[in-house]
Structure 1
Amino acid sequence: MTGGLASIRLACTCPADAIRWACVLEATAPKAGNVYPGRDFEDLSYLDFVTAAELAASAFDPRPSSFSHGVLEACGRTAERLGTNVNLGILLLLGPLVQTDAAAGESPLNRAQWRDRVVACLDSLTAEDADRLYAAINVAAPGGMGQSDEMDLSGPPPEDFLAAMRHAVSRDRIAKNYADGFADFFHHVVPLVHQSLIDEGDWMGGLTLAHLRLLAAAPDTLIARKFGEDVAREVQRRARFDHRDGEQREAFDRYLRTGTLDRQGQSSRINPGTTADLIAAAVYVLLREAV
């Protein structure tokens, strides 16, 4: 185990501990275009992310009967405490992972086992789970999450939550992972984050590098929803530079923070938030999987 994983894994004696560590580590890494210490947004601070991490951990401790309870509870507590959407994407990704992890008890899962059991977890979702997950989405009120002719993720929930996710696949990478049983996450995201930690040899450098590599590999779907596909593709193009060149990294960060016009014609920073959410979830798996 490299990149400091081993020492932090020892501190993660339960899923709630791993939620705290995964969320705080992701938020602390100096990732381009995101909040981190010393780089707050005007409406969102690093402290907000640390607070949201604790609220998320407490919502899953003790483990709820279904992860949808934990997601809704965490979204509600976060909205009440912070008045903003801090971690909806992270919670939707962590939910099935935490339920699968907790159900394994004292026997850590390897990556293949985890993927198979996440698929079973998603397949077991009920109409009541859909109600709770839709309620969580409405509490968080994510911009552009899913207006479409076939399905509106902010509207009345269907009985089949995965059906709604399948309709949102083209607009949201988190929905894509629900629809494909987290195949993208386990086959691409987790290995890339793990390899980046190995390549850098430390948490902060590794997660920062992973963020850039993911942005260079595929458009961030939060950017695409807020600004359009052309901007998302331009961010992907600009992310394809020498990631070890500090000046180029700073220039890329400035470009994202300077922003452009969103779909409503208002100037806004370009926040690659979905990519950050995927990293937080990958860190959770790396902290809890069998080694």
Structure 2
Amino acid sequence: MPETRAIPFEHARAAFLEACALDVTTPKPGNVSTQSPGHGMDAAQFLASADASLDALFARGAKVGQRILDAVTRTRAAVGCNTNLGIVLLVAPLAAALDATGDRPLSAQTWRAATDDVLSSLDLDDARLAYRAIALANPGGLGDAPEQSVHAPPTVGLREAMRLASERDSIARQYANGFADLFDTGLAAYQEALPRAHETAPGNPAERAMLNVFLAFLGGWPDSHIVRKHGLALAQSVTLMAREQHARWHHTPPAARRSASDPQLDAWDAKLKAQAINPGTSADLAVATLFVARCIAGAVSPRSHRPDTTGTEPVS
């Protein structure tokens, strides 16, 4: 097991920007990418959103709710639409947990424990601030609920409000379960995608890791964004197709893969966009996973802290 160390603050910020860049440089079925705009948005808006939200998400000592509201406010001012609410909701408590780790060595285990501590401390003020952010982002259907709807003032803390929504929303579930899906499913898929010592493959290993994580989430359970927009039955059909495509892509010999792209996945991407189907929640979870993975890689690597988008490093 490699030794771990604390990571510089600037490395965490760079890892976030890198994960957001990989979100759009990696062709993922149904998602906006540099190769394929969609859903009335393009890659430039997502990159601008990452830049706009960076300082708010990584504001030292800020409450989670304040990070969320400030990030959404700045994103809205920059691009005029909701491009990254899910990413913001996921990264805000993770960034706050990084603050809490201080100078302690960073590993998946220490970060996960610190994140659960942050989630346990979320209060009514965090809920009020987050509700304002969700209302400002105005995502269709998100926040509509029989209990603790964002259209009324909250009466419970943010974690409890998210717990009430966790059965129908995968991002809310992370608040309830301590980001178990990210630290278990997400990081395992990232680790699985790392090239083995005997393997050679063209293209960008980081993009292949992003695609593997995305397909693991999309094939793991119905995407919340698709459920809200199109209903559970269609979302389940997308999940089944994701499992089939993931298995096929995963078993393609590494040397035959071109970057993260694949003709069958490209065709599926076009079909999903033609039907206005966007697996946005799976993409958000993948971005948060890559952020965590790249931070941890920096904590165990003897190399420079400068992020490397052309390769991957092991996660402890």
TM-score category of the 2 structures, normalised to the smaller one: 0.7 to 0.9
* Superposed structure 1 runs of 4+ greater than 6 Å apart: none
Show the counterpart of 1:43: 40
**Correspondent of 2:294 among 284, 287, 290:** 287
User: Over the residues paired in the alignment, what is the CA RMSD in angstroms?
Assistant: 2.3
Residues 152 and 203 of structure 1: is their aligned pair in 2 closer, same or farther, counting only changes over 3 Å? same
| Residue identity matched to 1:205 | R
SS state of the match for residue 175, structure 1?
helix
Q: For 1:44 and 1:118, locate their aligned partners in 2 and report how far apart those are by CA, in whole Å.
A: 32
**Correspondent of 1:273 among 276, 280, 287:** 280
Judge conservation of contact 2:91–2:288 (CA < 8 Å) in 1.
yes
Pair 1:25-2:28 in alignment? no
Show the counterpart of 1:256: 272
- 5 Å matches for 1:184-199? 184-198=181-195
- 5 Å matches for 1:140-151? 140-151=137-148
Judge conservation of contact 1:144–1:225 (CA < 8 Å) in 2.
yes
Q: For 2:181 and 2:147, locate their aligned partners in 1 and report how far apart those are by CA, in whole Å.
A: 24
TM-score (norm 1): 0.87
**Correspondent of 2:87 among 74, 87, 90:** 90
For residues 151-205 of structure 1, the C-alpha deviation after alignment (integer angstroms, 9 at most, x for no partner) is 3133322231122111211211000111111122212122212322447770112
Q: For 1:61 and 1:173, locate their aligned partners in 2 and report how far apart those are by CA, in whole Å.
A: 23
For residues 200-251 of structure 1, the C-alpha deviation after alignment (integer angstroms, 9 at most, x for no partner) is 7701122123222322222111101110000100101112131256332223
Q: For 2:164 and 2:66, locate their aligned partners in 1 and report how far apart those are by CA, in whole Å.
A: 23
Pair 1:34-2:31 in alignment? yes
> Which ranges in structure 2 are unaligned for 5 or more consecutive residues?
2-6, 253-261, 301-316
| Residue identity matched to 1:256 | L
Judge conservation of contact 1:189–1:279 (CA < 8 Å) in 2.
yes
**Correspondent of 1:206 among 199, 202, 209:** 209
TM-score (norm 2): 0.80
Judge conservation of contact 1:130–1:157 (CA < 8 Å) in 2.
yes
Q: For 1:50 and 1:39, locate their aligned partners in 2 and report how far apart those are by CA, in whole Å.
A: 14
**Once structures 1 and 2 are overlaid, which stretch shifts more, 56-65 or 270-279?**
56-65
Please report how far the alpha carbon of residue 64 of structure 1 lies from its aligned counterpart in structure 2 after TM superposition.
4.1
Show the counterpart of 2:241: 238
Identity of aligned residues (%): 34
Q: For 2:10 and 2:194, locate their aligned partners in 1 and report how far apart those are by CA, in whole Å.
A: 21
Please report how far the alpha carbon of residue 285 of structure 1 lies from its aligned counterpart in structure 2 after TM superposition.
0.8
Show the counterpart of 1:266: none
Please report how far the alpha carbon of residue 105 of structure 1 lies from its aligned counterpart in structure 2 after TM superposition.
2.7
SS state of the match for residue 148, structure 2?
coil
Please report how far the alpha carbon of residue 95 of structure 1 lies from its aligned counterpart in structure 2 after TM superposition.
0.7
Please report how far the alpha carbon of residue 16 of structure 1 lies from its aligned counterpart in structure 2 after TM superposition.
2.1
SS state of the match for residue 18, structure 1?
helix
Show the counterpart of 1:226: 229
Please report how far the alpha carbon of residue 77 of structure 1 lies from its aligned counterpart in structure 2 after TM superposition.
0.9
Q: For 2:81 and 2:61, locate their aligned partners in 1 and report how far apart those are by CA, in whole Å.
A: 24
- 5 Å matches for 1:146-161? 146-161=143-158
Please report how far the alpha carbon of residue 110 of structure 1 lies from its aligned counterpart in structure 2 after TM superposition.
1.1
For residues 243-279 of structure 1, the C-alpha deviation after alignment (integer angstroms, 9 at most, x for no partner) is 25633222321221121xxxxxxxxx10000000001
Residues 30 and 17 of structure 1: is their aligned pair in 2 closer, same or farther, counting only changes over 3 Å? same
SS state of the match for residue 243, structure 1?
helix
Residues 144 and 42 of structure 1: is their aligned pair in 2 closer, same or farther, counting only changes over 3 Å? closer
> Which ranges in structure 1 are unaligned for 5 or more consecutive residues?
2-9, 260-268
| Residue identity matched to 2:187 | V
Q: For 1:127 and 1:71, locate their aligned partners in 2 and report how far apart those are by CA, in whole Å.
A: 14
Q: For 1:224 and 1:27, locate their aligned partners in 2 and report how far apart those are by CA, in whole Å.
A: 23
Q: For 2:111 and 2:157, locate their aligned partners in 1 and report how far apart those are by CA, in whole Å.
A: 23
SS state of the match for residue 249, structure 2?
coil
Judge conservation of contact 2:186–2:216 (CA < 8 Å) in 1.
no
Q: For 2:8 and 2:41, locate their aligned partners in 1 and report how far apart those are by CA, in whole Å.
A: 28
Q: For 2:195 and 2:8, locate their aligned partners in 1 and report how far apart those are by CA, in whole Å.
A: 20
**Once structures 1 and 2 are overlaid, which stretch shifts more, 171-180 or 246-255?**
246-255
| Residue identity matched to 2:283 | A
